[in-house]
Amino acid sequence: MSASPFLVLSAILFTIGCIGVLTRRNAIVVFMCVELMLNASNLALVTFSRVNGNLDGQVAAFFVMVVAAAEVVVGLAIIMTIFRTRRSASVDDASLLKY
Amino acid sequence: MPVPLHESVPVVDPSAASGVFSLLWVIIALPALGATVILLLGNRRTSAWAHLLGCATVIASFVISVVVFIGLLGRSPGDRQVGQTLWTWVQAGSFRADMAFLYDPLSAVFLLLITGVGSLIHIYSVAYMEHDVRRARFFAYLNLFVASMLTLVLANNYLVLFLGWEGVGLASYLLIGFWQHKPSAAVAAKKAFVVNRVGDIGMALGTMLTFATFGTVSFAGVSAAADRAGDTTMTVLGLLFLLAACGKSAQVPLQSWLLDAMEGPTPVSALIHAATMVTAGVYLIVRSNFIYQQTEVAQTAVVVVGGVTLLWGAIIGCAKDDIKKVLAGSTMSQIGYMMLAAGLGPAGYAFAIFQLLTHGFFKANMFLGAGSVMHGMDDDVNMRHYGGLSKAMPITFLTFAVGYLAIIGIPPFAGFWSKDKIIEAAFAHNLVTGLVTLVGAGVTAFYMTRLMLLTYLGKKRWEKDVHPHESPKTMTVPLIVLALLSAVGGLLILGGWITNWLDPIVGQEPEVNNQINVVVLSLIVLVTVVVGMLIAWLTVGRNEVPRTAPSRVSVFTRAARADLYGDAINEGLFMRPGDRFVNGLVDFDDHGVDAVVNGTGGAFGGMSSTFRRVQTGFVRSYALSVLGGAVLVVLALLAVNFA
Amino acid sequence: MVAFWILAPIMVVAALGILFARKAVHAALLLAIVMISLAVLYAVQDAPFLFAVQIIVYTGAILMLFLFVLMLVGVDASDSIVETIKGQRVMATVVGLLFGVIVVFGVGQVSLGVVQGLSVANKDGNVPGLAQLLFSRYVFAFESTSALLITAAIGAMVLAHRERLTPKPTQADVAAQRMRDYAEHGTHLGPLPSPGVFARHNAVDTPALLPDGTPSDISVSRTLQSRGTVRTAPSTDVERLTRGPERPDDLSDLDGKDES
């Protein structure tokens, strides 16, 4: 089976994730959109591994998952800390570094 | 009839100094030492003895000058040039200038004049400046002046001459503005310095041009090579030195400072602005005769300058009520005579120097006399407040009268002999120059007689509470000495002594055929002088002299009172355009350069205050720009891969 | 490929749902749909190990972590529709769509050649093949990611840790505080009744009654109250209860009938 549909799907998912990051205000939903982007790139990696006939792409996707896990842990801990002090989970509220 | 250019001009070729001539440097060192000591120790510490030190140094210099003069007399006429080199001053590549002196008949005459008249004026100043707190400093400056003037006349190259030139300029500035608390004195000092500076440009450029042309600045070197240089170069040199001389000698067009310089104490006016500094210009021209001999244009320029100035000064002197200003105008006029004579070439050099000598005597005499009058009249300079002083101050009157007779040219006083010779030479040169000098003589007689009438004769017009008295001996003795010199100074012409004395320097006086018989010419001059005296007596002596200057006067009087609009011309031609130019530059700097600089800064500031709005603080806007960048990257990738 | 064409639209719709969902929990659940579909696609593409890992790690661990934090942070917090930053939404959509179009176009232009397939690489099995790579060529990356995980765990602990500002009150302190509250404010001294003591019904939306017959606010969840879905206790019940039974062992009228 050809690889292009998978790649197109991956691109679409990635795009939707991007727009989500830019549009949503809840920090956790933004994070979820980032996860969506990562997953889309995982799909592309697996597809290319199949195209090239070796497992390097899958290993890479595996590593992406591991790193995403670590990232989610720390990211959510940060969001929690911010929420505790500021009582708000909106990304727009952390806007003090401005002109 | 133009004077034929000489093929052979006397070359400066000094022999080494030995014996008594090795004392040459002491002549300069003594007053320099006096000035240094007094200035370093300060006014307060030296006020008890500074005047004594000042007088002692100059008198000692005079004694040594007499000794070396006698030494020079003892030599044969062809062997009368002595040089003394102290050290190498400048050695830069091919340029070499030594701190060296040249003692020859011309310098001998000047040395005696400067130290002799200088000593008398120093003695006079002891009493004149008695009540001044800063008298010690005054003597320091006077010594400084004498040292600089001696350097000027003893120099054997243009660079050392320039050193002395600048030194006398400095001393003149310090002494004119000696009474610093008077704003008018400070302004006058500044004016003198600035106008002198214009002349100094000529001196500096001339020296540089000398080096550029001849590779040396010493008189020996230049005189040896003078006939080999190009005509234009020599003309330019001559004109540059003429500019320098105009500045120092207060000739037109740089004459505006001399009358203002009368703000200084009277001994200063006597020494610097009558006898010595203002003659430096004439000295320069006579000393550079080897240059002027090569260029007729420059010589004519000198004659024109001299002629114009002698009339200019005389006309100004006619309308002034300030006794010192009349004498200053007279100085300007007499130096015009000297310049005119110097411009006539070998025919006139000796007479220019002769006139310089006699003028030194009688002008210093009259200035000191004016000082004596001011001393008695509570420092009032207005002649309209004088009158009838001949009885109150007899010695002053008599000595002044001798000087007066000398200046207007009544035989047998000194002025007659010197001025007559100049008028003779002028007529031999050209009818116009002759007439100018003749008219000048008449006008001189007029204003000097006016001065005598207003000051010493006639009814008393004194201010209340003014009791004129004779001055102390320290003031009257120099007056008497100078009066004697004014009387007998003419003896120098006996047997043509002065011309023979100066021959080795200025060249043989050519045979002139006078159109007019010499005796007849003298009579014509005398008649002109008497006419001048008569006019003065008719207009001034006979009528009641008003105590305040009348305001309804002829246009000539108004012009003369305004210095023939010399200041107005300077202001209009130089000051105002210069002012506008400088203001324009300041504006350019403020609004042009600063605007560019500040504008650049402002532009950046404006840009940054616009661009800072990008920093909204919202993560999402930043993420949007990141996405935008990613779009660009992808586009670039595609373009590269599929192009 | 059949699986792909079925799952792909579902995934796209779910992703768009994440974009437009108002409540964060809905977005999380939609993300779960996407992730599980992705797992299936991995399986379709001869990556069984990744299929398993995706479900276990991504959906099972990471997404659950998301849900936990959502609960902690506030599950009822919902984004408002109105966009606060001017032009953000429009620009985001435009640029995003542009990006998507360009990438899709680029992908379409790429000629990948023949798909080689993983039959050779997977001949010893997918897991041994992965292990072969992981512990030879990528062992260094493997070790670093392990360090990364340890660091992340410690980091999370540090970040989530709440430093005590005051010493932890002991049992004696709590008891003394209770006494003080009773003395000053008249707060009830004893322990709170265990759940169900005053309950009339074991539905979560029926409030318990206090001894004087008024419904107790604290017996119903605040969420239900704010939603307005709390049942009221019938007044007759109150009267009946306070009256007490006519016959001591008659318990028939203790059933909570809804008479609202």
pLDDT at residue C221 tops 90? no
- Measured between beta carbons, the chain C residues lying within 8 angstroms of A61 are 47, 50
**CA–CA distances in Å: residue B505 to residues B286, B408, B484, C235:** 9, 29, 28, 148
Q: Are B154 and B29 in contact (CB under 8 A)?
A: no
Q: Is A21 on the interface with B (CB under 8 A)?
A: yes
Determine which of B619, B621, B633 to mutate to test the interface with C (most C C-beta atoms within 10 Å). Answer: B621
pLDDT at residue B515 tops 80? no
For A54-60, what is the mean pLDDT? 93
Is B615–A97 a contact, with Cβ atoms under 8 angstroms apart? yes
pLDDT at residue A19 tops 90? yes
Q: What pLDDT score was predicted for residue B22?
A: 81
DSSP characters over B504-571 = HHH-PPPP---SS-HHHHHHHHHHHHHHHHHHHIIIIISS---SS--S---HHHHHHHTGGGHHHHHI
Q: What pLDDT score was predicted for residue C256?
A: 52
Which residue of A lies nearest to B615 if distances are taken between CA atoms?
A98
Residue C198 backbone dihedrals phi, psi, to 5 degrees: -100, 20
Which tokens belong to B609?
Answer: 């205050």
Q: What pLDDT score was predicted for residue B6?
A: 45
Percentage of chain C exceeding pLDDT 90 = 42
pLDDT at residue B146 tops 90? yes
Which residue of B lies nearest to C83 if distances are taken between CA atoms?
B620
Using CB atoms, pick whichever of C1, C28, C130 lies closest to residue A32: C28
For B152-176, what is the mean pLDDT? 94
The one-letter code for the residue type at C32 is A
Q: Quick: pLDDT tens for B252-280.
A: 888 889 989 998 999 999 988 777 888 89
Q: In terms of pLDDT, which residue wins out, B224 or B165?
A: B165
ipTM of this complex:
0.93
Which tokens belong to C173?
Answer: 């302190």
Nearest-CA distance from A53 to chain B in Å?
A: 24
Q: What pLDDT score was predicted for residue C226?
A: 82
Residue C180 backbone dihedrals phi, psi, to 5 degrees: -60, -45
Q: Are B203 and B272 in contact (CB under 8 A)?
A: no
Q: Quick: pLDDT tens for B68-127.
A: 999 888 888 777 888 888 889 989 888 888 899 999 889 999 999 999 999 999 999 998
Determine which of B620, B625, B631, B638 to mutate to test the interface with A (most A C-beta atoms within 10 Å). Answer: B620
Q: What pLDDT score was predicted for residue B512?
A: 66
Of the candidates C59, C70, C6, which has an alpha carbon nearest to the alpha carbon of residue C33? C59
Q: What pLDDT score was predicted for residue B3?
A: 39
Q: Is C94 on the interface with B (CB under 8 A)?
A: no
Residue B468 backbone dihedrals phi, psi, to 5 degrees: -65, 135
Q: What pLDDT score was predicted for residue C234?
A: 58
pLDDT at residue B192 tops 90? yes
Using CB atoms, pick whichever of A91, A98, A99 lies closest to residue B620: A91
Q: Is B621 on the interface with C (CB under 8 A)?
A: yes
DSSP characters over B70-117 = HHHHTS-GGG--EEEEEEEEEEETTEEEEEEEEESHHHHHHHHHHHHH
Q: Is C26 on the interface with A (CB under 8 A)?
A: no
Q: Are B280 and B296 in contact (CB under 8 A)?
A: no
Q: What pLDDT score was predicted for residue A18?
A: 94
For B46-73, what is the mean pLDDT? 91
Nearest-CA distance from B608 to chain A in Å?
A: 10
Its pTM stands at 0.66
Q: Quick: pLDDT tens for B529-585.
A: 999 989 888 888 777 777 777 877 788 888 888 888 888 888 888 889 999 999 999
How many residues comprise chain C?
260
pLDDT at residue B151 tops 90? yes
Nearest-CA distance from C40 to chain A in Å?
A: 11
The β-bridge relationship of strands B15-16 and B82-92 is: parallel
Which tokens belong to B420?
Answer: 């007559």
Q: Quick: pLDDT tens for B408-422.
A: 888 878 888 888 888
pLDDT at residue B203 tops 50? yes
Q: Quick: pLDDT tens for C163-194.
A: 788 888 899 999 999 899 889 988 778 777 66
- Measured between beta carbons, the chain A residues lying within 8 angstroms of C115 are 1-3, 50-51
Is C85–B618 a contact, with Cβ atoms under 8 angstroms apart? yes
Which residue of A lies nearest to C30 if distances are taken between CA atoms?
A32
pLDDT at residue B4 tops 60? no
Chains sharing 3 or more CB pairs under 8 A with chain A? B, C
Cis peptide before B253 (omega within 30 of 0): yes
Using CB atoms, pick whichever of B612, B618, B624 lies closest to residue A95: B618
Q: Are B236 and B151 in contact (CB under 8 A)?
A: no
Q: What pLDDT score was predicted for residue B238?
A: 93
The one-letter code for the residue type at B373 is V
Q: Is C89 on the interface with A (CB under 8 A)?
A: yes
CA distance B203 to B217: 12
3-state secondary structure of B8: coil
Band of residue C81 on the pLDDT scale cut at 50, 70, 90: low
CA distance B101 to B147: 13
Across the A/B interface, how many CB contacts are shorter than 8 Å?
33
CA distance B276 to B168: 10
pLDDT at residue B7 tops 50? no
Q: What pLDDT score was predicted for residue C197?
A: 65
Helix B231-249 to helix B296-319 angle (10° resolution) is: 20
Band of residue B2 on the pLDDT scale cut at 50, 70, 90: very low
Q: Where is average pLDDT lowest: B128-137, B577-586, C214-223, C235-244?
A: C235-244
CA distance A17 to A33: 5
CA B213 to chain centre: 27
Average pLDDT taken over every residue of chain C: 83
Band of residue C205 on the pLDDT scale cut at 50, 70, 90: confident
pLDDT at residue B168 tops 90? yes
Which residue of B lies nearest to C107 if distances are taken between CA atoms?
B638
Is B624–C105 a contact, with Cβ atoms under 8 angstroms apart? no
Of the candidates B439, B444, B446, which has an alpha carbon nearest to the alpha carbon of residue B534? B446
* Sign of the CA dihedral with B106 first, then B111, B114, and B117 last: negative
- Angle value at C-alpha B292, between B507 and B221, nearest 5 degrees: 75
pLDDT at residue C214 tops 80? no
Q: What pLDDT score was predicted for residue C76?
A: 66
Using CB atoms, pick whichever of B617, B620, B624 lies closest to residue A97: B617
Using CB atoms, pick whichever of A13, A73, A92 lies closest to residue C15: A13
pLDDT at residue C236 tops 60? no
Is A32–C97 a contact, with Cβ atoms under 8 angstroms apart? no
For B358-384, what is the mean pLDDT? 89
Task: Using CB atoms within 10 Å of the CB of residue B231, give its burial: 0 to 12 exposed, 13 to 18 middle, 19+ buried.
Answer: exposed
Of the candidates B142, B128, B132, B135, which has an alpha carbon nearest to the alpha carbon of residue B396? B128
Of the candidates B215, B158, B73, B39, which has an alpha carbon nearest to the alpha carbon of residue B501? B73
Determine which of C7, C13, C18, C154 to mutate to test the interface with A (most A C-beta atoms within 10 Å). Answer: C18
Using CB atoms, pick whichever of B615, B616, B624 lies closest to residue A22: B624
Nearest-CA distance from C204 to chain A in Å?
A: 28
For C79-88, what is the mean pLDDT? 75
For B47-61, what is the mean pLDDT? 92
B window 622-641, beta carbon within 8 A of C = 624, 627-628, 630-631, 634-635, 637-638
pLDDT at residue C257 tops 90? no
3-state secondary structure of C158: helix
Nearest-CA distance from B602 to chain C in Å?
A: 29
Average pLDDT taken over every residue of chain B: 88
pLDDT at residue C240 tops 70? no
Using CB atoms, pick whichever of C50, C100, C122 lies closest to residue A11: C100
For A17-31, what is the mean pLDDT? 91
Nearest-CA distance from C195 to chain A in Å?
A: 30
- Measured between beta carbons, the chain C residues lying within 8 angstroms of A69 are 57, 61-62, 149, 152
- Measured between beta carbons, the chain A residues lying within 8 angstroms of C14 are none
Using CB atoms, pick whichever of C16, C72, C121 lies closest to residue A80: C72
- Measured between beta carbons, the chain A residues lying within 8 angstroms of C88 are 22-23
Q: Quick: pLDDT tens for B581-637.
A: 999 999 888 888 888 888 899 999 999 988 888 888 888 889 999 999 999 999 999
Using CB atoms, pick whichever of B616, B623, B624 lies closest to residue A98: B616
Q: In terms of pLDDT, which residue wins out, B618 or C111?
A: B618
The β-bridge relationship of strands B95-103 and B15-16 is: unpaired
Q: For the CA atoms of chain A, what is the radius of gyration?
A: 17
